């Protein structure tokens, strides 16, 4: 079995998302598709899975030209795609999700098949549970089994590791290796070099809508980085520095946040210190950050910043104590849809009087855009920016004199260059005495930048570690609730 | 007592058609906000057609056609022109309502034919229930059928699951090979047909005749019942019968001397009380009850289809 994409072209308005991309994949190989955000990977894969129609180009499977005008044509031909955000129906039951759109009508048989195929990979499903109660990883598992059941011989995975735990990622990679060994074509789309390197046998690198080249793996990291970005890239590490005074202190804090409750939590962060919060999604990291930000009121205990008691004082008091919070939902909680960059700076800035001086506002916004190298204009709306640029904008919106910066997933969904830029900025702030508390699912990020790592498990603090004397293996075990050391 | 309940069932029948129709359209993700105007214009058309041709059947067909055209317009404006469904629905409401006044002028106050009455043999002899459910005009039985058929279709068939999928997450439905926009046309128009029947059921059955603004505000009540009915046809039907009961109550109170001073506001009281009741039904308590009893979850959940009112595009 072999799959070939020949000279695929697709434009969105003035943007050439795919500018003559060709790709060849043989069966039994795990094929990576690597490139930074906006390189055209997703567009190419959506063309391959019939989700969008290319302006020009051919898809050839086993020497046969495929004419595809919808995902149904693709799956009939044996091509299935797992989208970045798994396309499940959240209120529907697992079984409903499984049978929806399939030609097979018998629900009992379908349920049995779901269990049987799933069991082969170590997945288990509660057929009557609503899909909403599943983790992102379990939703992916459901989709993978569904595509296999529908007869997929080519499986495309678009950034499947976003938002899943380390354990689920290990299970996913295991599954993909098994599938490739069974003779399927597996295409793994990612902007994360390490993942492609760990999983794939061969990789095609894309840059600005074009395929730059194919490489057999393992290959030198530098070579791949240069192909991705067109230039070598240096990853900034953390220089250890002496922490200063206590910036934020929690004493015996108890919080009840619907699903998660934290009990008797005491911790402190000093100026110039970085604390990483590790753990499975929903283990309490978010609750802690939101408590520190004053968005959740603790039931008991105290929150103090620089000697001032902030317990139960609310978000705005925290802000005036220079405690800032950047949530994971950049567009949902951080920025405002439909509001331009200039207007964002106006809203975030100091009040200067009742009348807006637009020329001045635009000039200042433009200055900030250049200073933070944000790709966009002063009139771009928040949602028109890419994920990396949204994060840059959020950082640009923050005043310079932040005492404590609380961040959720600072680099989630960002490509290497943007992630490195973000951390450069953050480290500059830390050197200027800011304390940072951040949560992340990326173990390397936690280990590289933190001074201390707080591991959460099941809604409580499981372990506090010195980041310098820990490795990713130990951290992964701790996140899964096992203390092996 | 039996007679009163039977009256309630008969009074609510047109609303049942309208809410079932609207539920189907909204489940598919299209809000047909034109209900109030559609019902008025259909009521007028249905009555006029029957008056001219003498055929009740033709009257109903004409009424369905009118509301189907309006529904198709909304689907077209939303899907092809990418206009806001709320805006286009509101404009069509006003247009259809004015049209019904203008075109219906010759038929005001004339006597026409109405829907035939039919006692269901045997079943109508059941004590109590027979009188309440099986001694009605034909259009009332139709409302039972529409309700049962909609419930079975939406929740018990494969196509019904697809219908819910289209309204919940159109991208996911599309990825599963369902022609989302074509299906949205289909279900919006089917919903429109039921709204048309609702109009004709008013002018040819419940209200016997046509006058200006005959069914004014019933469309809005139907829309509210759909929302607070949690997009579940059976729960919405309960709302319809409750509203029917309030109407009948207001009617019975009119001759009571104690209410003489306020007789002017009695006819609008059901609308106010209905909104009030629906707010109570919408309280958090209901949701929590549903979470404790999974069996009841679907009936009690008040979650709108997530893709409602949203245009689906393939990028």
- Residue-wise pLDDT for B224-240, tens only, equals 999 878 899 998 999 89
A133-163 pLDDT tens trace: 888 899 999 999 999 999 999 999 999 987 7
User: What proportion of chain A, given as a percentage, has pLDDT over 90?
Assistant: 38
- Residue A23, pLDDT score: 92
- Residue A6, pLDDT score: 94
- Residue B287, pLDDT score: 66
Cα–Cα distance measured from residue A305 to residue A319, given in angstroms and rounded to the nearest whole number: 11
Predicted confidence band of residue A485 (pLDDT cuts 50, 70, 90): low
3-state secondary structure of A453: strand
Binary contact (A88, B172; C-beta < 8 A): yes
A87: nearest CB among B162, B164, B175: B175
Chain A closest CA to B161's CA: distance in Å? 7
Residues of A in Cβ contact (< 8 Å) with B306: 90-91
Cα–Cα distance measured from residue A408 to residue A410, given in angstroms and rounded to the nearest whole number: 6
Start-end of H helices in A238-338: 285-292, 315-320
- Residue A33, pLDDT score: 95
Q: Are strands A202-207 and A210-216 parallel, antiparallel or unpaired?
A: antiparallel
CB pairs A-B closer than 8 Å: 62
Residues of B in Cβ contact (< 8 Å) with A71: 174-177
- Residue A484, pLDDT score: 61
> Strands, E, within A306-441: which ranges?
308-309, 323-326, 404-408, 435-439
CA–CA distance from A443 to each of A279, A386, A414, A439, B76 (Å)? 10, 24, 15, 10, 50
For the cut 90, the answer to whether the pLDDT of residue B2 exceeds it is: no
Chain B closest CA to A82's CA: distance in Å? 10
For the cut 60, the answer to whether the pLDDT of residue A121 exceeds it is: yes
For the cut 80, the answer to whether the pLDDT of residue A243 exceeds it is: no
> CATH 3.40.50.300 residue ranges in chain A?
2-229, 246-322+399-479
Cα–Cα distance measured from residue B180 to residue A203, given in angstroms and rounded to the nearest whole number: 35
Q: What is the mean pLDDT of chain A?
A: 88
Residues of A in Cβ contact (< 8 Å) with B314: 51-53
For the cut 80, the answer to whether the pLDDT of residue B293 exceeds it is: no
Cα–Cα distance measured from residue B154 to residue A437, given in angstroms and rounded to the nearest whole number: 48
- Residue A263, pLDDT score: 83
CA atoms within 13 A on the CB side of B208: 5
Binary contact (B173, A90; C-beta < 8 A): no
A105: nearest CB among B158, B171, B178: B158
Higher pLDDT, A38 or A343: A343
> What is the enclosing helix (H) or strand (E) of B136?
strand B135-137
CA–CA distance from A15 to each of A9, A11, A21, A263, A449 (Å)? 11, 6, 15, 52, 36
Start-end of H helices in A49-135: 71-77, 94-99, 107-121
- Residue B298, pLDDT score: 64
For the cut 90, the answer to whether the pLDDT of residue B80 exceeds it is: yes
Residues of B in Cβ contact (< 8 Å) with A96: 161
Binary contact (A128, B294; C-beta < 8 A): yes
Radius of gyration of chain B, Cα coordinates, nearest whole angstrom: 20
A368-410 pLDDT tens trace: 888 888 888 888 888 888 888 888 899 999 888 899 999 999 9
Binary contact (B158, A99; C-beta < 8 A): yes
Binary contact (B165, A75; C-beta < 8 A): no
**A2 pairs with which residues across the strands?**
A26
Residue to test with chain A: of B160, B176, B183, B231, most A Cβ within 10 A = B176
Q: What torsion do the CA atoms of B212, B217, B219, B225 make, to the nearest 10 degrees?
A: -160
Residues of B in Cβ contact (< 8 Å) with A128: 294
Go through the domains of chain B in sequence order and give each one's CATH number: 2-300 (1.10.3470)
Burial class (CB in 10 A: 0-12, 13-18, 19+), A408: buried
Q: How many helices (H) and strands (E) does chain A have?
A: 16, 20
Q: How far is CA A362 from the centre of its chain?
A: 31
Residues of B in Cβ contact (< 8 Å) with A259: none
Q: What is the DSSP string of B52-103?
A: HH--HHHHHHHHHHHHHHHHHHHHHHHHTS---HHHHHHHHHHHHHHHHHHH
- Residue A236, pLDDT score: 60
> What is the enclosing helix (H) or strand (E) of A483?
none
First and final C-alpha spacing in chain A = 46
Binary contact (B175, A81; C-beta < 8 A): yes
CATH superfamily of A2-229: P-loop containing nucleotide triphosphate hydrolases (3.40.50.300)
Enter the pTM of the model. Answer: 0.77
CB A118 within 8 A of CB A140: no
Predicted confidence band of residue A282 (pLDDT cuts 50, 70, 90): confident
CA–CA distance from A313 to each of A222, A308, A401 (Å)? 50, 11, 21
Which CATH code, of 3.40.50.800, 3.40.50.740, 3.30.870.10, 3.40.50.300, is assigned to A246-322+399-479? 3.40.50.300
Predicted confidence band of residue B301 (pLDDT cuts 50, 70, 90): low
**A448 pairs with which residues across the strands?**
none
For the cut 90, the answer to whether the pLDDT of residue B105 exceeds it is: yes
Please provide residue B82's backbone torsions phi and psi, each rounded to the nearest 5 degrees. Answer: 55, 35
Mean pLDDT to the nearest integer, A208-213:
90
Chain A positions touching chain B (beta carbons under 8 Å): 12, 46, 49, 51-53, 70-72, 75, 81, 83, 87-92, 96, 99-102, 105, 128
For the cut 70, the answer to whether the pLDDT of residue A363 exceeds it is: yes
B176: nearest CB among A53, A100, A128: A100
Binary contact (B314, A101; C-beta < 8 A): no
For the cut 90, the answer to whether the pLDDT of residue A280 exceeds it is: no
- Residue B184, pLDDT score: 96
First and final C-alpha spacing in chain B = 59
Predicted confidence band of residue A242 (pLDDT cuts 50, 70, 90): low
Buried b (16+ CB within 10 A) or exposed e, A157-189: bbbbbbbbbbebbebbbebbeebbeeebbbbbb
Cα–Cα distance measured from residue A125 to residue A117, given in angstroms and rounded to the nearest whole number: 11
Residue to test with chain A: of B166, B172, B231, B298, most A Cβ within 10 A = B172
Of the candidate ranges A372-376, B149-153, B239-243, B292-296, the one whose mean pLDDT is the lowest: B292-296
Start-end of H helices in A372-485: 387-397, 416-431, 443-449, 472-479
Chain B positions touching chain A (beta carbons under 8 Å): 158, 161-162, 164-165, 168-169, 171-179, 294, 301, 303, 306, 314-315
Mean pLDDT to the nearest integer, A334-338:
88
User: What proportion of chain A, given as a percentage, has pLDDT over 70?
Assistant: 97
Chain A closest CA to B173's CA: distance in Å? 7
ipTM of the modeled complex: 0.87
A87: nearest CB among B164, B171, B314: B171
């Amino acid at each position: 079995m072999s799959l070939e994409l020949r000279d695929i072209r697709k434009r969105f308005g003035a943007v050439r998302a795919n500018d003559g991309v060709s790709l060849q994949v043989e069966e039994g190989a795990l094929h990576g598709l690597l490139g930074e955000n906006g390189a055209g990977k997703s567009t190419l894969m959506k063309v391959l899975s019939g989700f969008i129609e290319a302006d020009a180009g051919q898809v050839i499977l086993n020497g046969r030209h495929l004419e595809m005008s919808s995902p149904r044509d693709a799956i009939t031909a044996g091509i299935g795609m797992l989208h970045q955000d798994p396309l499940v129906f959240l209120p529907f039951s697992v079984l409903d999700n499984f049978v929806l759109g399939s030609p097979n009508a018998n629900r009992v048989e379908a349920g049995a098949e779901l269990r049987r195929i799933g069991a082969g990979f170590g997945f288990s499903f509660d057929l009557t549970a609503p899909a909403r109660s599943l983790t992102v990883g379990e939703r992916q598992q459901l989709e993978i089994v569904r595509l296999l059941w529908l007869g997929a011989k080519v499986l495309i995975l678009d950034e499947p590791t976003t938002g899943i735990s380390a354990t689920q990622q290990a299970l996913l990679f295991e599954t993909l290796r098994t599938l490739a060994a069974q003779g399927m074509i597996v295409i793994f789309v990612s902007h994360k070099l390490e993942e492609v390197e760990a999983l794939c046998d061969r990789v095609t690198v894309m840059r600005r809508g074009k395929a730059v080249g194919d490489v057999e793996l393992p290959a030198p990291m530098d070579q791949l980085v240069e192909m991705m970005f067109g230039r070598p890239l240096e990853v900034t590490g953390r220089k250890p520095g002496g922490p200063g005074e206590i910036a934020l202190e929690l004493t015996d804090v108890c919080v009840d946040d619907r699903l998660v409750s934290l009990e008797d939590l005491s911790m402190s962060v000093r100026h110039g210190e970085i604390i990483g919060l590790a753990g499975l999604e929903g283990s309490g990291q978010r609750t802690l950050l939101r408590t520190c930000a004053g968005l959740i009121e603790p039931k008991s205990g105290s929150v103090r910043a620089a000697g001032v008691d902030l317990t139960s004082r609310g978000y705005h008091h925290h802000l005036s104590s220079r405690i800032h919070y950047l949530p994971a939902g950049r567009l949902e909680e951080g920025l405002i849809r439909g509001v331009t960059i200039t207007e964002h700076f106006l809203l975030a800035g100091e009040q200067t009087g009742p009348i807006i001086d637009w020329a001045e506002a635009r000039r200042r916004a433009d200055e900030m855009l250049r200073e933070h190298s944000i790709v966009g204009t002063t009139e771009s709306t928040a949602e028109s920016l890419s994920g990396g640029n949204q994060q840059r904008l959020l950082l640009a919106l923050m005043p310079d004199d932040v005492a404590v910066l609380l961040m959720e997933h600072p680099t989630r969904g960002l490509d290497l260059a943007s992630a490195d830029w973000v951390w450069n900025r953050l480290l500059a702030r830390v050197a200027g005495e800011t304390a940072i508390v951040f949560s992340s699912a990326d173990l390397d990020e936690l280990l590289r930048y933190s001074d201390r790592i707080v591991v959460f498990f099941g809604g409580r603090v499981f372990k506090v570690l010195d980041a310098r004397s820990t490795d990713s293996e130990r951290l992964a075990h701790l996140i899964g609730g096992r203390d092996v050391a | 007592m039996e007679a009163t309940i039977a009256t309630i069932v008969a009074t609510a029948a047109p609303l049942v058609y309208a809410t079932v129709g609207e539920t189907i359209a909204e489940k598919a993700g299209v809000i047909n906000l034109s209900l109030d105007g559609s019902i008025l214009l259909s009521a007028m058309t249905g009555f006029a057609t029957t008056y001219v041709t003498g055929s009740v059947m033709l009257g109903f067909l004409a009424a369905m056609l009118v509301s189907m055209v309006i529904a198709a317009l909304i689907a077209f404006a939303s899907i092809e022109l990418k206009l806001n469904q709320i805006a286009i629905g509101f404009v069509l409401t006003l247009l259809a309502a004015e049209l019904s006044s203008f075109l219906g002028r010759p038929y005001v106050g004339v006597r026409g034919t109405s829907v035939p009455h039919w006692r269901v043999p045997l079943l109508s002899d059941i004590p109590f229930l027979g009188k309440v459910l099986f001694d009605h005009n034909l259009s009332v039985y139709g409302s039972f059928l529409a309700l049962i058929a909609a419930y079975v279709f939406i929740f018990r068939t494969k196509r019904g699951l697809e219908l819910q999928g289209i309204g919940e997450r159109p991208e996911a439905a599309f990825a599963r090979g369902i022609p989302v926009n074509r299906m949205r046309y289909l279900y919006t128009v089917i919903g429109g047909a039921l709204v048309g029947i609702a109009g004709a059921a008013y002018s040819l059955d419940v209200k016997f005749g046509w006058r200006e603004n005959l069914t004014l505000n019933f469309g809005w009540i139907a829309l509210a019942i759909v929302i607070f009915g949690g997009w579940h046809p059976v729960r919405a039907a309960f709302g319809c019968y409750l509203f029917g009961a309030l109407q009948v109550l207001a009617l019975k109170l009119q001759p009571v001397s104690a209410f003489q001073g306020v007789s002017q506001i009695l006819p609008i009281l059901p609308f106010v009380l209905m909104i009030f009741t629906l707010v109570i039904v919408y309280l958090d308590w209901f949701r929590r009850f549903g979470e404790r009893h999974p069996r009841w979850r679907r009936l009690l959940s008040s979650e709108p289809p997530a893709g409602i009112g949203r245009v689906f595009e393939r990028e």
